[in-house]
Amino acid sequence: MGSSTDHGGAGWRGKKQGSQLWKKALLHSSLCFVMGFFTGFAPSSVSDWTSAAAAAGSSSSSSHVVRALPAGGALNRSLLAHGAGPGYDRAASPRPLLVVVTTTESTPVASGERAAALTRTAHALRLVAPPLLWVVVEAAPDAPATARQLRATGLMYRHLTYRDNFTAAGAGKERHHQRNVALGHVEHHRLAGVVLFAGLDDVLDLRLFDQIREISAFGAWPVATMWRDEREVVVRGPACSSSAVTGWFSQDLSDGTAAAASTTSTARARPSGEVDVHGFAFNSSVLWDPERWGRYPTSEPDKSQDSTKFVQQVVLEDLSKVKGIPSDCSEVMVWHVDTAAPSPSSPQNKRR
């Protein structure tokens, strides 16, 4: 009897344990089903943005584009640089890429001011609607400090360096060399967009950036040039009829006199020398124009081989391709502080 009772209790306990295991398995399966069901309705933005950021990072290494990602919104800024972030609808309002070229100097005095000037320029460019690519060019020894600073700007940029040596007296030649380095990079990588030269000493009206996006070939505007430690302000630029450029003028605002280089409606009117690089922008496709190399006689090779001189020359060849900015060229939107020593032909030296 006792043995029979023990076997019966063991069987009852075995059935009870089996029932509990079955219930646990059923509950586990039900929970997995419910979680999987509701996961299907969950937004996929996190995974999508993560993959987009990974794709952006992989493209950086291949195309040499460096994107600075600020804290607290790095993914937003990275995608915004591609025109895919909030506030920019490519289908509704496509904008051409702006390629802003900034040159620096490697002199000891300039090196001490570079960080402040880069910070000022970066904050201005952050106010410009994307897409925008900031091309900063400088000598190789100065690169490490600038690279750290550029990474914190939140802008899409390319940092170009060179190993050529320039003396303090050759600051103008160094800037010219830097512009050629930048234009060579734009041409080599076929960066389609509107190219603008913006120096660290320049002050630009934000409205200018919106207007130059409409440039199909060239655009030009008046520039107010000031000399450091000199009471001198000279405005130079295109003379316009509506938005059509008819000539070029130069006006000294220091004493109210004007010296007109040409204010006539003649299409061949030119400034006295090369057009100021701070006063025009151009479509980058000009750089890989198939007719570029056959445009000039072989006796003038620099005009084709020197990219900066080339675009300065082309902008003067056919004024019908130059868009006046603003529409009547009556407003100064760029102020340039010239830190170089005045030349003997400059207005302030002529008065002395």
What is the sign, positive or negative, of the torsion defined by CA atoms of 20, 26, 29, 31? negative
Please name which of 330, 317, 325 lies closest in space to residue 267, comparing C-alpha atoms. Answer: 317
Residue ranges of the annotated binding site are 201
Q: CB of 336 within 8 A of CB of 226?
A: yes
What is the sign, positive or negative, of the torsion defined by CA atoms of 333, 175, 68, 215? positive
Cα distances from 305 to residues 43, 196, 274, 296, 308, in angstroms, run: 54, 20, 16, 10, 9
Each of the 352 residues of the chain gets a pLDDT tens digit; together they read: 444 445 555 554 555 555 666 677 777 777 777 666 655 554 443 333 323 333 333 333 333 344 333 333 332 333 233 333 344 454 445 889 999 999 987 765 566 688 899 999 999 999 999 999 999 999 998 899 899 999 999 999 999 999 988 876 667 899 999 999 999 999 999 999 999 999 998 999 999 999 999 999 999 999 999 887 777 888 999 999 888 998 898 888 876 544 444 333 333 356 767 889 999 999 999 999 887 777 765 556 566 689 999 999 888 888 889 999 998 898 999 998 876 655 444 444 443 3
Cα distances from 206 to residues 95, 197, 332, 334, in angstroms, run: 15, 14, 12, 10
307-345 as b/e: b if 16+ CB within 10 A: bbbbbbbbbbeebebbbbbbeebeebbbbbebbeebeee
Q: For position 293, what pLDDT does the model report? A: 73
Q: For position 187, what pLDDT does the model report? A: 95
Supply 153's token pair: 């700007």
d(CA 20, CA 22): 5
Name the fold adopted by 97-338: Spore Coat Polysaccharide Biosynthesis Protein SpsA; Chain A (3.90.550)
The pLDDT tens digits for 303-322 are: 668 999 999 988 888 888 99
d(CA 212, CA 278): 13
Bond from prior residue into 131 cis (ω within 30 degrees of 0): yes
pTM of the model: 0.68
Residue ranges of the annotated binding site for Mn(2+) are 201
d(CA 57, CA 116): 29
